Amino acid sequence: MPSLLIKNIGKLVQVKDTNEAVKGKQLKELSCIDNAWLTVDGGEFADFGAMKYCPLRAEGIIDAKGGMVFPTWCDSHTHLVFAKSREDEFVDRIKGLTYAEIAQKGGGILNSARRLNEMSEDELYESAMARLTEIRSYGTGAVEIKSGYGLSVAGELKMLRVIKRLKHHSDLTIKATFLGAHALPAKYKENRNKYLELIVNEMLPQIAKEGLADYIDAFCEKGFFTPKETAYLIEEGAKYGLPAKIHTNQFNSMGGIETSVGGNALSVDHLEVLNDAEIAVLKNSNTMPVLLPSAPFFLGDHYPPARKMIDSGLPVALATDYNPGSSPSGNMPFVISLACIKMKMLPEEAINAATVNAAIAMGIQDTHGRIEKGLPANFFITKPMPSLAYLPYAFGSSQVERVFLKGRE
Ligand code: NIG
Ligand code: FE
């Protein structure tokens, strides 16, 4: 007898048995079963089907009363370990300063780094755990978390150790990314190479020794790190078996896409500024483009050309970029609404981008991002909704009612 039966599911969403990227025209196809049931056993999806063949017995039975069942979201890009919020910069931007100007004044990432280095590992852990609890309530079941607010050997290790503790104690699936090259600390201003050598000779070996990271990242952008420096870090990360996930093309197109694809990056993230040649480079690659629309929403910037990318045949993934500077929110349903409203993605496209493709962008596509027999039972039940499109349509009001990870609520 299965441990759990969910019956009267209005729509069982993203039923699929392949882990391949969903690209171009395929993105608007979403495989669903209307009026369905689902069983869970041993923490895994056991079986599902149409209500007229619903099993009668299980240890526990939930009546979804027409609510839909989705696989939990995968949020493949966050910085959710951080010390303090930065609403003072938010007000500065309202008054007219730009993100780049605030960064040049020593605000931004360097501001977060100062505060993080003053905070204890325990405090960081507690506040990050609270954020995980919050994002789980939005239906997120897996999350990637970056370092990058330490920018010193001790600070980066502290952040990554916090992420390692979160991995052990949270029921979410977590991947850790080392982002030592998030910003150049002020004291290395006249000697950039010295900071790069610190990353390569001191941070990376220790991180590898303690098994603290799954991926490596760099912020390839004017005023941050160049494509050449990014290429160097991708190469050094690869020596320790860390595939790259690169912040690029947020404000400028300057070669970050070619560099990342050339380095076999798992993903390139942001892409607010993306030209046709770069779209062509991505088309000839296995690198997943990850769009973070809550960052341009929050910064009042323009959005990535998602429509053009999809119409050219590319896959895309969606993530929140949860961080105190450019996206102080880890709300995946809101990101899905923004994708539809601001980037003209269809609801089905956005859902594929937040599940199957998002799982690929964080390397967990064998076990996450869809409903398939034998996979960990990570799913949520929504309130009764008239249609799939209602989820992004009803922006700002949560439809997610009950969240289950490995079969447990
Ligand atoms: O993805 N752009 C670089 N990093 C983050 C912002 C970090 C911050 O401002 O604290 C981002 O937007
Ligand atoms: Fe980011």
Q: Which atom of ligand 1 is nearest to the CA of 250?
A: 2
Amino acid at 368: H
- For residue 267, is pLDDT > 90? yes
**Per-domain boundaries in the chain:** 4-71+371-404, 74-362
Mean pLDDT of 182-209: 96
What share of the chain in percent tops pLDDT 90?
97
Per-residue pLDDT, averaged over 252-258, amounts to 97
Cβ-proximal residues to 66 (8 Å cutoff; 6+ apart), any chain: 8, 9, 10, 384
Residue 383's pLDDT is 98
Class of domain 4-71+371-404: mainly beta
The residue contributing the CA closest to ligand 1 atom 1 is: 321
Length of the chain: 409
| 103 pLDDT higher than 90 | no
Q: Which residues pair with 404 in a beta bridge?
A: 379
Alpha carbon of 149 to ligand 1 centroid (Å):
10
Give the integer Cα–Cα distance in Å for 302 and 328.
18
Which ligand neighbours the alpha carbon of 148 most closely?
1
Establish whether residue 247 lines the binding site of ligand 1, counting it when its CB lies within 6 angstroms of any ligand atom: yes
pTM of the predicted structure, to 2 decimals: 0.97
DSSP single-letter state for residue 53 = G
Per residue in 208-219, pLDDT (tens digit) is: 999 999 999 999
CB 373 within 8 A of CB 365: no
Are the folds of 4-71+371-404 and 74-362 the same?
Answer: no
Indicate whether residue 294 lines ligand 1 (CB < 6 A).
no
State whether the beta carbon of 111 lies less than 6 angstroms from ligand 1.
no
Residue position matching structure tokens 């929403």: 297
CATH fold for domain 74-362:
TIM Barrel (3.20.20)
Mean pLDDT over each residue of the chain, to the nearest integer: 97
Average pLDDT over residues 166-191: 96
pLDDT at 107 over 90: no
23-72 pLDDT, tens per residue? Answer: 999 999 999 999 999 999 999 999 999 999 999 899 999 999 999 999 99
Pairing between strand 67-71 and 73-75?
unpaired
pLDDT surpassing 90 at residue 100: no
Q: Determine the residue type at 264.
A: N
Phi, psi (rounded to 5 degrees) for 300: 65, 35
Q: Pull the structure tokens for residue 71.
A: 């696989």
Alpha helices in 95-247 (DSSP H): 99-104, 108-118, 121-137, 153-169, 192-197, 204-210, 227-239
Reading the block at residue 283, the tokens are 């088309």
Answer whether residue 176 shows pLDDT above 90: yes
CA geometry: angle 181, 234, 210, nearest 5 deg:
75
Q: Is 294 a residue whose pLDDT tops 90? A: yes
- Predicted confidence (pLDDT) per residue in 272-292, tens digit: 999 999 999 999 999 999 999
Residue 240 DSSP code: T
Mutation test residue for ligand 1: of 321, 322, 329, the one with most atoms within 8 Å of CB:
321
Whole-number Å distance, alpha carbon 246 to ligand 2 midpoint, is 9
Task: Tell me what pLDDT residue 154 has.
Answer: 96
Mean pLDDT within 342-364: 98
107 lines ligand 1 (CB under 6 A): no
Give pLDDT, residue 132: 98
Among the bound ligands, the one closest to the CA of 149: 1
Query: Residue 304 in contact with residue 321, Cβ under 8 Å?
Result: no
